Amino acid sequence: MVLFFTLPPWDVAYPYILINNQHPEYGLRYLKTYNHIKDVKKIIIDSGIVIFMNPQVKDYPGGYKEQTRRQVYLYKRIKSLVPHADVYVVIHDYCDGYHPKALWLNERITNIERTIESIMYATEKYPNIPWIIPIQGHYKRPRSVLKSIMYIKEYGILDKYDYYAVANLCVEQKVDIISMTIKYAYYMLGKDKKIHVFGMKIKALKYIKDMIYSFDSMGWTKPVEKELHKRYPHSCKTSEQRKIFFLTYLRHLKEKYGVQIE
């Protein structure tokens, strides 16, 4: 079964939590509220790559080394709040989807090479952190993830870590591109590895659910079913709507796709 990670409404207990490194305050307050063994089971600390939606932003604040230090600090803080939970940390990566080639330094050092540099630093500097290794690629080029995986194999990362995140599909809408990208990663990484997909569009889930371990999304903030859309033809506006939208989304995932939500 596939796990769904997200940041849920305040008044709903949920076991699989996604926390944004750039803005962790809400997530930390949530964990303090639901820090019982039966509530939170697994946590992913994301790198906050959405900062690159701004085309003027070319790097993380302070660079990936400073952000790695912050990730480690946040990991320790979260483990102190929920010591029973499994906490995974995403290594900072460089995307290509928001503004293609905007984060390339040149044709030789693209977003893939920059991501590999960040991976090598994090794994060598902090080898005992339960890292999720990002697999980056180029915009709308599924085969490009093979380049990332070849680097990872060459540098010995594949022998040391079990959890990988396909990170180049956050803004991808086409199901065939999503599906093909995941297939390349699945067969290249090996069937014994866990694959996470960042920001995946729910419509692609039925094509790849047998190849992935988990995914994340904040898509529940919009109505996922027709009846809900008739009542609220907009994103959720109130705390009550957030709860209704979220629970409806979970039911949709469970009944239609067999996603594990408890």
pLDDT(262) > 80:
no
pLDDT (0 to 100) of residue 66:
97
DSSP 8-state symbol, 100:
T
pLDDT (0 to 100) of residue 229:
86
Q: For 17-42, how does the pLDDT look when each residue is reduced to its tens digit (9 = 90+)?
A: 999 998 999 999 999 999 887 899 99
Q: For 47-104, how does the pLDDT look when each residue is reduced to its tens digit (9 = 90+)?
A: 999 999 999 999 999 999 999 999 999 999 999 999 999 999 999 999 999 999 999 9
d(CA 155, CA 169): 24
Average pLDDT score over the chain: 95
pLDDT (0 to 100) of residue 38:
80
pLDDT(142) > 90:
yes
Q: What is the pTM of this model?
A: 0.95
pLDDT (0 to 100) of residue 37:
78
DSSP 8-state symbol, 232:
-
Confidence label for 107 from pLDDT (cuts 50, 70 and 90): very high
Q: If we measure between CA atoms, which residue out of 200, 210, 251 comes closest to residue 18?
A: 200
Q: For 196-222, how does the pLDDT look when each residue is reduced to its tens digit (9 = 90+)?
A: 999 888 999 999 999 999 999 999 999
**Rg, Å, the chain Cα set:** 18
Q: For 156-190, how does the pLDDT look when each residue is reduced to its tens digit (9 = 90+)?
A: 999 999 999 999 998 999 999 999 999 999 999 99
Superfamily per CATH, domain 3-217: Queuine tRNA-ribosyltransferase-like (3.20.20.105)
User: How many C-beta atoms lie closer than 10 Å to residue 171's C-beta?
Assistant: 13
d(CA 227, CA 214): 27
d(CA 240, CA 46): 27
For the sheet containing 163-166, what is the strand order?
3-5, 214-216, 194-197, 163-166, 131-135, 86-90, 42-46, 16-20
Phi-psi region of 217 (alpha: psi -120 to 50; beta: other; left: phi over 0): beta
Confidence label for 258 from pLDDT (cuts 50, 70 and 90): confident
For residues 111-135, give the mean pLDDT: 98
d(CA 138, CA 103): 11
Tokens 């750039």 belong to 22
What lies within 8 Å, CB to CB, of 107 at 6+ separation is: none
Residue type, 133: I
User: How many C-beta atoms lie closer than 10 Å to residue 237's C-beta?
Assistant: 11
pLDDT (0 to 100) of residue 211:
96
The boundaries of every CATH 3.20.20.105 domain in the chain are: 3-217
pLDDT(240) > 80:
yes
pLDDT (0 to 100) of residue 227:
84
